[in-house]
Amino acid sequence: MTQDVDPQVIKQAAAAWRQVHDEAAAAFTRLAGVLQGSAGMAGTDNGAHAWASKYDLLCGGCDGATGVIECASAAVIAAGQVTDLLYVTAVNHENADQQSALNHQGPQPFRPRESPYLL
């Protein structure tokens, strides 16, 4: 069975995911700034220190999976990776179409820009 693939539609999907990535990254940056601004809020109270040690793990985590920061960062990275994978898929289809045609022009560029990583 033959499947028609329109690389431009895939690139449009990649552009939509790029917007998701960029907006999520901006929200992540704001969140990190707010959390950083609250550092030391427990002061010198023993009860507050006990609470803060749990709060810090919940917000920042330290095992790479439990904290809000790690989870938000992973979501931003995932959106960037989906962007890159969709764009590469479109380029692969364009290259296959060009290389199967007579007098093809050569390969397309790989991707417009790489997604930044936050972790």
Residue pLDDT, tens place only, 77-87: 999 999 999 99
Task: Decide if 32 is inside a domain.
Answer: yes
The pLDDT confidence band at residue 98, using thresholds 50, 70 and 90, is confident
Structure tokens at 81: 């990776």
Residues 6+ positions from 112 with CB-CB distance below 8 Å: 87
Write down the pLDDT at residue 67: 80
- Work out the number of other CB atoms within 10 angstroms of the CB of residue 41: 10
Task: Decide if 25 is inside a domain.
Answer: yes
Task: Decide if 72 is inside a domain.
Answer: no
Distance between CA atoms of 118 and 74, rounded to whole angstroms? 8
Distance between CA atoms of 58 and 106, rounded to whole angstroms? 51
pLDDT higher than 60, residue 64: no
Task: Decide if 64 is inside a domain.
Answer: no
Task: Decide if 108 is inside a domain.
Answer: no
pLDDT higher than 60, residue 52: yes
Task: Decide if 5 is inside a domain.
Answer: yes
Task: Decide if 84 is inside a domain.
Answer: no
Identify the domain containing residue 25 by its residue range: 1-36
pTM of the model: 0.73
Residues 6+ positions from 41 with CB-CB distance below 8 Å: 48, 52
The total of structural domains in the chain comes to 1
Task: Decide if 3 is inside a domain.
Answer: yes
